[in-house]
């Protein structure tokens, strides 16, 4: 991957999981409620039509909301995705830079709510919202 394709301020995401390792490298800018995620799409992310698979968008939306909400408190609050809705608004081509940006968040004692938008440049390609369960201590 050409490092010049990664926008300024984005660094390798400091969190890992088997799924993120398969998709990545994932990049991040900011933290907590200011967290933005980025991915330079490649052929591993393609569907049968040669464009980005919708499951990649869904995964990044879920991860973006979950980590932003979890790390908005100190210590980080573990959250469990209870429900997520995703609207696909456009096609993402392979080798395009995709960003996930938090648009809304609210956390209560038992539930947390978040919404993100996913962008390629100035194009909004998807929007997602989710409800997260806050595990009881």
pTM of the model: 0.91
**Those residues with Cβ within 8 angstroms of residue 2's Cβ, 6 or more apart along the chain or in another chain:** none
- Give the angle 30-36-15 at the CA atoms, nearest 5°: 80
Which run of H or of E encompasses 121?
Answer: none
- Tens digit of each residue's pLDDT, the chain (137 residues): 454 579 999 999 988 888 888 888 999 999 888 999 999 999 999 999 999 999 999 999 999 999 999 888 888 888 999 999 999 999 999 999 999 999 988 988 899 999 999 999 999 999 999 999 988 86
Query: From the centroid of its chain, how far is CA 4?
Result: 21
Cα-trace Rg, the chain? 15
Measured CA to CA, the distance from residue 107 to residue 32 in angstroms comes to 13
Domains of the chain: 3-133 (3.10.129.10)
């Amino acid at each position: 991957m050409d490092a010049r394709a990664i926008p300024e301020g984005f660094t390798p995401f400091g969190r890992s999981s088997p799924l993120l390792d398969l998709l990545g490298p994932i990049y991040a800018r900011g933290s907590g409620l200011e967290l933005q995620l980025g991915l330079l799409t490649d052929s591993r992310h393609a569907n049968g039509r040669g464009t980005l698979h919708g499951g990649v968008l869904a995964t990044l939306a879920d991860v973006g909301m979950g980590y932003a909400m979890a790390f908005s408190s100190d210590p980080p609050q573990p959250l469990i995705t209870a429900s997520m809705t995703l609207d696909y608004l456009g096609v993402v081509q392979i080798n395009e830079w995709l960003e996930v940006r938090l648009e809304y968040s609210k956390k209560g004692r038992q539930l947390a709510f978040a919404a993100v938008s996913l962008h390629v440049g100035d194009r909004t390609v998807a929007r997602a919202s989710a409800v997260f369960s806050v595990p009881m201590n």
